[in-house]
Structure 1
Amino acid sequence: MQFFTSAAILTILCIQTTKKKSLHAVYTRFVASLLGMLYSFIAFETFGYNPYVLVIMILLFIPSIVSIGVTAGFISSAVIMMHIYSEANFTLSLFYNELGLMTVGFGVALLVNLYMGDIQKRLDKYRIEIEELYKTIFSEIYKYLEVGDTDWDGRELIEAEKLLNKAKSLAYIDVENHLTRRENEYYLYFDMRERQLEIIERVLPKITTLPVIVQQAQLVASFMKELSENVHSGNTARTFRDKLDIVKKEFAELPLPETHEKFLAMASLYQFIEEMDEYLEIKQTFKGLKGKK
């Protein structure tokens, strides 16, 4: 082949971060290159092989690829057009040569992109780390309600937010690496956990600003302790919502507050219970990850 080193350039231009992007890159570059050869044949064979024709042709070529949505293929097509310009003779042999370069270059790019490392283990690692952070957060809430422990600095909340952003990005890449898949169960899982984190961040002030620790706090503490021990990707939300209903009933059976401070504490705890019910409702809508507890 003539200009055989250009096949490497075409390959590099088509290698992308995901399979879907790579396939789209090959499509845009292939279409743009074919169009570039057509423009070259018409322009050079009609008006001659000179720099002025080349410039005018490129100026007309750019709007054409923009209009059909293959702008990303401009560099690849420019490589092909310069080959034709440098040969100064558009022959059938040259046409086949350029098709061969495109086939090798784009084909190798697709083969390279077919191998995308399995990111399942990384997604599972993120899942486990996030669940551990949630366990710690609930455990700290339990400790505060049970014994008034206030040493927690809340760093797990910040870590969970950062980890969820990384996990969702990785799950999206996994979707892009499967040509027939439109969604990823891990992405849905991390999105669910993100919405739950918003609730956790919203309800924490209701707990940490209790004016006094009332008797009802023990009921909530027991529930949070059990919840902290059962944070996983399976769907047990219905079970814990039933437990929360029992807490609400026991909460209502306890004596009414005797002071204004106790009233405020009880009101905050009840609001916390309602928010946790919403937290569990979000989890209940998620079907769970296949093969996970």
Structure 2
Amino acid sequence: MKIGLRTIKTAVAAPIALLIASSFDLESAASAAIIALLTVTNTKRSTARTAINRLVSLTLATSIAAGCFILLGFHPLVFGLYLLLFIPLSIRLDLAEGIAVSSVLITHYLVAGEMSVNLIINEYLLMIIGVGCALAVNLYMPNTEKKIQEDQAVVEVSLRKMLGAMSNNLNQLDKEKQLVSECLALREFIKTAQIRAQEFEENRFFSGNSYYFEYFAMRRLQLNVLADMLQILNQLNASPVDVKELQELFEFTAQTLAEDNDGSAILTKIAALDQRYQQKKLPEDRQTFEERAMLFQLFRLFQEFIEIKAGFHRNK
């Protein structure tokens, strides 16, 4: 059985919250532990957002509860009225994650049969201690940047390998199934890497840099285009003369593809090849025309593949 870091942090935060709340002789001190348990998340930013939302949610809940209980009495049916007002309003204000925790704290007023200043302060202290302990344990996060950079290297090597294989097997119909499988596997790998990159960015409070996340998003877009290219390759059976220039383009890209390559050199070659395509005479027989059309469609998809990377560099 594997115990994750979040589980360990939760196991540390909850009892500490309980000990602190008990040391202040707060009513229902165990609630602080429950709040800490529910507030620890996978990243620093998400924990901070959750903590702030819980405090805002408690303020809203306390205001509504005060109006209901003071006017209508501390009765279970009045608590139901409070929920009828609090839940829709919380959802409207994007505070849904605080509904359960705040409502549990509100039941303390119901049980006590009063909303005294001391009891209200008690509930706020329980909330502050709970979310404070969650924030404290989440200050430590392992640095995953090296792993993300390793993921980038895997993606670069895999893409170069696939483009090289596409160049070598451009007119061999029986070779494309393996490439499709590799494309799907790489897409799943990038999806996981992108999640890791997002968590890395979420663990930096004062950085708006989302380079790694955007990098993997760019590669996912490229793989979507690559998947469309493979569908065409699976049907293409053009003459060796017609595919030669595109093969050379694929091979050049396989050799030069890199994270810091903005694609400008490849786009220059694409523009030159596009001009040559435009100058070619249209084939006379239907089969050659259809093959040429598929080849041109493949060329356009490849151009889109490179333009995605170029656009990523322009927007950095």
**Other-structure match for 1:215:** 241
Q: Which residue of 1 aligns with 2:215?
A: 189
Q: Secondary structure at the match of 2:111?
A: helix
* Residues 128-139 of structure 1 aligned to structure 2 (within 5 Å): 128-139=153-164
SS in 1 for 2:164: helix
> Aligned-pair distance for 1:53?
4.8
| 1:1-293 map, 5 Å | 1-2=25-26, 3-38=28-63, 49-63=74-88, 65-66=90-91, 68-88=93-113, 90-145=115-170, 148=172, 150-152=174-176, 153-154=178-179, 155-179=181-205, 184-247=210-273, 265-287=291-313
Q: Is the 8 A contact 1:234 1:288 kept in 2?
A: no
Q: Is there any run of 5+ residues in structure 2 with no aligned partner, and where?
A: 1-24
Verify the 8 A CA contact 1:4 1:101 in the aligned structure 2: yes
Per-residue CA deviations over 1:196-222 (Å, capped at 9, x if unaligned) read 223322233444434353224333323
| Alpha carbons of structure 1 residues 107 and 267: separation in structure 2 relative to 1, 3 Å | same
- AA in 2 matched with 1:199: V
Quote the Cα distance in structure 1 between the aligned partners of 2:286 and 2:65. 86
Cα deviation code 1:107-131 (max 9, x no counterpart): 1122233334333234323322222
8 Å contact 1:174–1:184 — kept in the other structure? Answer: no
Secondary structure class of the residue paired with 1:130: helix
Q: Which segment drifts farther, 194-203 or 246-255?
A: 246-255
Q: What amino acid does structure 2 have at the position aligned with 1:169? A: I
Deviation larger for 192-201 or 257-266: 257-266
Deviations 1:102-156 (A, max 9, x none): 221121122233334333234323322222222222121222248x584452211
Q: Is the 8 A contact 1:143 1:149 kept in 2?
A: no
| C-alpha distance in structure 2 between counterparts of 1:169 and 1:74, whole Å | 27
**TM-score, normalization: structure 1?**
0.77
The AA in structure 1 aligned to 2:139 is: L
Deviations 1:146-167 (A, max 9, x none): 8x58445221121122223333
Aligned length: 289
Equivalent pair of 2:173/2:236 in contact (CA under 8 Å): no
User: How far is 1:174 from its partner?
Assistant: 4.0
Alpha-carbon distance between aligned partners in 2 of 1:70 and 1:98, rounded to the nearest angstrom: 18
Query: What residue number does 2:19 align with?
Result: none
Q: For 2:241 and 2:158, locate their aligned partners in 1 and report how far apart those are by CA, in whole Å.
A: 28
The Cα shift of 1:98 comes to: 2.6
Given residue 195 of structure 2, which amino acid in structure 1 is its aligned partner? Answer: S
Aligned to 2:3: none
What residue number does 2:11 align with? none
Residue 73 of structure 1: how far off its partner (Å) = 1.9
Say if 1:44 and 1:53, in contact at 8 Å, map to a contact too. yes
1:254 and 1:215, CA in 2 relative to 1: closer, same or farther beyond 3 A?
farther
Please list every run of 5 or more consecutive structure 1 residues that lacks an aligned counterpart in the other structure: none
With normalisation by structure 2, the TM-score equals 0.73
Measured at CA, do residues 245 and 86 of structure 1 come closer, stay the same or move farther in structure 2, by a change above 3 Å?
Answer: closer
Residue type at the aligned position of 2:123: E
In our comparison, the structure showing a higher alpha carbon Rg is: 1
Alignment CA distance shift 1:213-1:25 (3 Å): same
Deviations 1:236-287 (A, max 9, x none): 4111222334555677899997976656555544443343223222211121
Question: 1:211 and 1:53, CA in 2 relative to 1: closer, same or farther beyond 3 A?
Answer: closer
Shift of 1:79: 2.7
d(CA) in 2 for partners of 1:66 and 1:142? Answer: 53
Q: CA RMSD in A?
A: 3.7
Give the superposition deviation at 1:51. 4.3
